[in-house]
Amino acid sequence: MKKQERVDFVIEKLEELYPKTPIPLDFKDGYTLLIAVLLSAQCTDKRVNEVTPFLFEKADTPQAMVKLSVDEIRDIIRPCGLSPTKSKAIHTLSQILIDKHNGEVPNTYEDLESLPGVGHKTASVVMSQWFQFPAFPVDTHIHRLMTRWKLTNGKNVEQTEKDAKRLFPEAIWNKLHLQIIFFGREYCPARGHIEANCPICSKI
């Protein structure tokens, strides 16, 4: 297959397999989504969804979060890993939201990425899933699959994001990035991947 044929096949197959794309993290607004995505770094969405109900029961707004100590936050989020760093980031970014953004989650990459603990991928998820801004957050699944499908050279996630945005229509970015994640988890794992059993890798 030529590259454009591979792109078209990937779009068609993912739409067939995942016509609906529920966001895998549980949240109720922009703030709780931001915190959930921050917690998901080097942690499974399943584990995050097990932890956030306890955290959000105590604090689901920046104003409530800053009333907790960093130690209290750390104790709750410990199962997510990297809890010392993440707890400080959550407490500090909550104070920044209050001081600089009237307690609201900002809707620009620049403002989001200036928050502690918020990198480009986290900002992209919030921009796409909360603000519905066309974005293509690249996680390890997307980076791995784009490389396997020979749609990027796989040098780094930044290059993968550029290639994805160039190859796929902007109108489907927000849905497609979730479809690729779901596909990677179900059919195309990092280890133990059997190409012949993969509905996409076996064809392209």
The radius of gyration of the chain from alpha carbons, rounded to an integer in Å, stands at 18
Alpha helical stretches, state H, 82-203: 83-101, 109-113, 120-129, 140-148, 157-167, 173-186
**Cα end-to-end distance, the chain, whole Å:** 6
Among all residues, which ones are annotated catalytic?
121, 139
C-alpha pair distances (Å), 77 with each of 36, 63, 182: 10, 18, 25
And the tokens for 27?
């949240």
